[in-house]
Chains A and B, each alone.
Chain A
């Protein structure tokens, strides 16, 4: 039984905007799943329908086998959601926000208190438990929403751009927290604009664009489709011109920086051979952009061309 099963899901808003055009999606139990797409692609609409915040036009959604139309309460009980926008009362304390959410899910006060302590401590918010939520920093507010989403210990956690606007250090600690949660068996569905985040965390991925799923595969398989990578080489000394790199597409960005496009069939060693024979020393080398980012842009470009 999949954790999430979506069939032929459509959504047409009252202004006639067709946000989802018959999408199908399966997320397995225990998966760490990425749902990617540009702004307005339909990610938040999909999540909204799963969580009960958006009415679907047609199609079926099952959460751990529970149809959201006929077994809505059972489906909701399986889900914890961390939305894109802040959606808690600005006038309540962190602790009461988390405890109240437990109450809405039918968790008794004593159990909710134990869990609130556990998750607020794990997310570094226990010291701030009595602080009014509006006084928290942006990163703390995002972590508060994660703690709130976990208070009923859901089987599936849905995070809609959880690290948007969060600094690098905090983002990394949130990644560790999510990995740990996933290892404990919680299915995680993540939308993010940080493709490095999806590549680092997720096992499977779907890409949605203009309300259509344009790719639904494993992260490994998707990355294997990458037929070329662009590398940046930083040189120790300046050079005036670039030697011939056996026909590889290359350009000298500045006297100490070279950009080289390497196809999957090519061997990167040949670049070093040429550099060595020309007495050019390389001090560092990196991808020009994230690998998933290149694929993501290719897929979206292809989808736009077929329209």
Chain B
């Protein structure tokens, strides 16, 4: 166990020091963009919208905005770090060493989770300047943040494994992740949608994460919390198996 802990902790420390060293590119931007969300959608437009499902609009969207920053940053951390390691070829430092692939995966995913938590904490502090946040259930809130960070770190890993150029690591966040986040109930309740679009929304994984997180904070969700957790577990296990299989086969990293 000791022999696995040293390589694992080495990867984690390297990952965390990487994104904290460039905090102006990694921690600061979400703080600024989320401040703008709170100012525009919360303080300026929010009062005109009134309430949503019994909550002030700013209180309703706050969990979604925090979750949005966690998703983006967990994904961005792993996709950019792993692809950067491939591009500069220093991924070979790990491949020549006797590290099992699951430890490499765990190291990168932990880096993504730590960044997700740190950015989530920063955005939460920003939110406190605009509203009094509630906390319905601390364990559920933390569990959702943890599982969501893991899911999107794994997704970032899969993206990085297949990426062959820098364009490939920006296409998915721009054309897939961002639309899914915006259509995942961050700014509205899916009860507002026509029935057809409610059914379509059920295929959006982010819907379950945003609603589970909102439940943890407000005790309010469009989806049953059990259903949301089952979906989170399914996503986590599926992406874990896929990414580990890809690493074991050496896709994108071995010729």
Contacts and interface: CB of A to CB of B under 8 A. Distances in A.
B128 interface: no
Nearest to B103: A104
B165 interface: no
Contact of B7 (A74, A86, A87, A104): A104
Interface residues of A, number: 34
7 contacts: A13-B255, A89-B85, A100-B93, A104-B93, A106-B2, A106-B98, A152-B97
B255 A89 contact: no
B3 interface: yes
Contacts of B11: 103-104
Interface string A75-110: 011010101011111110000100011011111100
A89 B90 contact: yes
B89 A87 contact: yes
B230 interface: no
Given A53-B96, A55-B250, A55-B255, A103 B6 contact: yes
B165 to A, nearest CB: 18
A89 B254 CA distance: 18
Contacts of A85: 89
Given A103-B6, A106-B7, A54 B98 contact: no
A216 to B, nearest CB: 25
A48 B93 contact: no
Contacts, number: 76
Given A104-B10, A107-B6, A51 B88 contact: no
A55 B254 contact: yes
Interface of B: 2-4, 6-7, 9-11, 14, 18, 21, 85, 88-90, 92-100, 250, 254-255
B3 A106 contact: yes
Contacts of B3: 106
A108 B6 contact: yes
B101 to A, nearest CB: 11
Given A100-B10, A104-B94, 10 more contacts: A53-B92, A53-B96, A55-B250, A73-B98, A74-B98, A101-B97, A103-B6, A103-B10, A106-B6, A108-B6
A105 B100 CA distance: 11
Contacts of B97: 76, 101, 104-105, 152
A52 interface: yes
Contacts of B89: 85-87
Contact of B254 (A53, A88, A96, A148): A53
A14 B251 CA distance: 12
Contacts of B14: 96, 100
Given A53-B254, A55-B250, A55-B255, A105 B88 contact: no
A181 to B, nearest CB: 18
A89 B89 CA distance: 8
Given A55-B255, A100-B93, A87 B98 contact: no
B96 A79 contact: yes
Nearest to A45: B255
A15 to B, nearest CB: 10
Interface in A4-54: 13-14, 48, 51-54
Given A104-B93, A106-B6, A48 B98 contact: no
A83 B255 contact: no
